[in-house]
Amino acid sequence: MTGAILMFSCVILIGVSVHLFLSGLRQAETDRVLERLAEGQPLLAEERGHWVALERMFQRAGLGKPTDSLGLWVTCWVLGAVLGFLVWSWLGLAAMVVLPPLILRLYIAWRYRRRVKRMVEQLPQVLDHTVRSLKSGRTLADALLGAIDSTEEPLKPAMGRIQRNVQLGVSLPEAASDFAEFYEQDEFRMLALGLKVNHRYGGNASDLLENLIKVIREREQGARQLRAMTGETRVTAFVLAGMPIAMVGYFMMINPGYLLTMWNDDSGRYMLLAALTMQVLGCLTMWRMLRSI
């Protein structure tokens, strides 16, 4: 009992120390941001580093900055790892160390794709509002910034990055280019390229944006048609990936001793590990094939 209390106290102290360390990092980052604002420079997307990449992942997925609640999540992660070790020994410790970051990474990727898809669907409405404002006599920058104010989530807070950079003195094409590179989406890159060409060489911005609206809608229609045509292939891939997992679950429910006997035997353990490795490799291969369609 005393050992468990001491271990729990150590975990709590580790969590507090991690929280204090992250608070110091957050304060240092705040100081750096204030220095950039004082110089009139925006936070560009070209910055590199593991911590910056982590923040970028969270922000692109619409989850805010990880520093806001990272201390709590790290503490829960450590407690989960300790609990897994107490319940399932080293196997539980390994599972609780590896699975939570993996699940979080998959959730962020899924949320990012879903958010960007919704933003691309909203983009023609923003451009259409911009075209109407241009035809009423407003400038391109005022028309686009006004269209951003009239849109809804998730595009409005995302394109608020353009508004902030423009207010800091960055030109509209550069701000749009920074936004496009931050979200790494072709439609946003086409918008940034169109704004840059119009800014450098002039021309009718209304025609340019109308053509861009047409291109985005045609791409969206083509993507939907391709998704409908490849639906059978995707369902087949899901079935092939899920069938071995379903069979293992069935054996564990009906006759758990069958797999446990294999696991306790050296040759059976190697067979199960080889099957697990092939299952993971097969799922990754089919996932890559589906991504290429």
Confidence band of 156 (pLDDT split at 50, 70, 90): confident
C-alpha to C-alpha distance for 191 and 180, rounded to whole angstroms: 8
Domain boundary among 69, 86, 113: 113
Confidence band of 232 (pLDDT split at 50, 70, 90): confident
Domain, as residue range, for 86: 2-113
Same domain? 102 vs 169: no
DSSP 170: -
Specify the number of domains making up the chain. Answer: 3
Confidence band of 43 (pLDDT split at 50, 70, 90): very low
Same domain? 76 vs 131: no
Same domain? 214 vs 194: yes
Torsion of CA 47, 48, 51, 52, to 10 degrees: 30
pLDDT given for residue 150 in this prediction? 85
**Residue 178's CATH number:** 1.20.81
Nearest to residue 63, comparing CAs of 28, 115, 98, 17? 115
- The radius of gyration of the chain from alpha carbons, rounded to an integer in Å, stands at 26
Taking residues 252-270, what's their average pLDDT? 80
Share of the chain above pLDDT 70, in %: 79
Same domain? 209 vs 119: yes
pLDDT at 6 over 70: no
pTM for this structure?
0.63
DSSP 198-260: HHHH---HHHHHHHHHHHHHHHHHHHHHHHHHTHHHHHHHHHHHHHHHHHHHHHHHH-HHHHH
C-alpha to C-alpha distance for 160 and 230, rounded to whole angstroms: 36
C-alpha to C-alpha distance for 67 and 22, rounded to whole angstroms: 7
pLDDT at 130 over 80: yes
Confidence band of 283 (pLDDT split at 50, 70, 90): confident
Domain boundary among 113, 148, 178: 113
93 or 189: whose pLDDT is higher? 189
Same domain? 257 vs 198: no
